[in-house]
Structure 1
């Protein structure tokens, strides 16, 4: 046991986590986050492989999560339970951004007849914190909480553009690009140029890089001191018009919304 504790301490020091870092909690959260749309249920062995941890460690984490009600099992397969949503609802309830932006996205979507969303940056991903869509579009699932890669989304590019240069470089280095659609830009230099353009233009327009047949336009949402705290987006299916139509039709509206929202963003 002392040797294992020494090894844990060495790992914490190497990772820069500090002496108060709880390895057990980190491993439990890694197991919880291993589940998702592409891994709705997994065996113990599959979970251990995904999180790259020993089976004994994952077994204890899963047992704890089952006992707490966040995970359920039929004896072989493990899956998340609705109780996990308490974690998300806690964030959404405590985060004033969601409360402000959700009704705004709903009104804006109804006005333009297109999906409207807001997101924040989390590492190399964007996370939707508000979403609205026209009533004519049937969608049985919510987009709130959905994660997408930042490098190839309009929301992500304006959020990355809002970071200090060194921080942006670190995020891009830690999260290499990968093909999401045939149109996804994969060249790191060109990706950086597009982020730089988003910074200088004050908006980003992405054409089918994150979803085939879908274009997206986003502007940064800045609080009173100019810091980017979120991004606002309008999307359009490609058959409704060109990228130019999307920009000319909705950019003035998005900019007006960003200006109106600035005093409310803390």
Structure 2
């Protein structure tokens, strides 16, 4: 059996901490899904060798996953490389059509985007990323690759910091150990920053994800107070100043989150 790399060791350790039976966990399925998520708007075509390097998996493992995904229609051979097939849209469609949160949040994003002439996004935490489940841009065509399903780094974005602040300290620590890749000193500093976000009830980030762009985000809580998503407004620093983000946008986000709580289950 091949030796596990550091990432897989961390995942296996996390499963053991969570109390899951290792015998019930399908690493083959996990690695097949990792292959699917390796593609993005900057790497639309990948070879077996590129996927193996990117995922730190044996080429034989990647080859088996690609053959299976090709047979099922989720990836398509393209010369000596592979690209995602249209069938992957069925996975996103199933999530969006069965998730009532997305239905509730999209009209809210549309309204806030129009009010502030800025992007408005709702996201959930997925590993190292905040994944958009609703998004609106005012009077602009939505850029390909930056709509629903687009990801931003959880530890550097307002959305992600708010989502991480919704975890209790123990779960947050385990999550960051598994997904951040930081050394001990950096991890302590990040946990302190997230604790400040939890206390403040919002996050403000400027220039970290994209130069010249800033955003503020608040948690979205369901009826029992559990944080399940985050909502933000983001724009260029020229369109809205930092002061406007704090004095105009943040109160609107908080008011919206309060109104939504009874609708989120």
- Partner residue in 2 for 1:127: 131
User: C-alpha separation between the residues in 2 aligned to 1:118 and 1:13?
Assistant: 30
1:144 has 2:144 as partner: no
- Partner residue in 1 for 2:232: 233
Whose RCO is larger (CA < 8 A, sep 6+)?
A: 2
Name the CA shift for 1:190/1:68 in 2 (closer, same or farther; >3 Å). same
Q: Deviations over 1:103-153 (max 9, x none)?
A: 110111112211101001112211100001111x34332511011111111
Instruction: Give the TM-score of the pair, scaled to structure 2.
Output: 0.86
Runs of 5+ consecutive residues of structure 1 not aligned to the other structure: 179-185
Q: Deviations over 1:134-181 (max 9, x none)?
A: 11x343325110111111111111111111011112222223378xxx
- Partner residue in 2 for 1:101: 105
Q: Number of paired residues?
A: 250
- Partner residue in 1 for 2:208: 209
1:57 has 2:70 as partner: no
User: C-alpha separation between the residues in 1 aligned to 2:46 and 2:73?
Assistant: 17
SS at 1:139 equivalent: coil
- Partner residue in 2 for 1:183: none
Name the CA shift for 1:50/1:177 in 2 (closer, same or farther; >3 Å). closer
Q: Which has the larger radius of gyration?
A: 1
- Partner residue in 2 for 1:37: 41
Moved >4 Å (runs of 4+): 11-15
Greater CA drift, 114-123 or 19-28 = 19-28
Instruction: Give the TM-score of the pair, scaled to structure 1.
Output: 0.86
Paired residues of 1:28 and 1:61 also in contact (CA < 8 A): yes
Shift in Å, 1:187: 4.4
**What is the CA RMSD across the aligned residues, in angstroms?**
2.3
User: C-alpha separation between the residues in 2 aligned to 1:236 and 1:23?
Assistant: 40
SS at 2:23 equivalent: coil
Name the CA shift for 1:187/1:132 in 2 (closer, same or farther; >3 Å). same
Paired residues of 1:151 and 1:177 also in contact (CA < 8 A): no
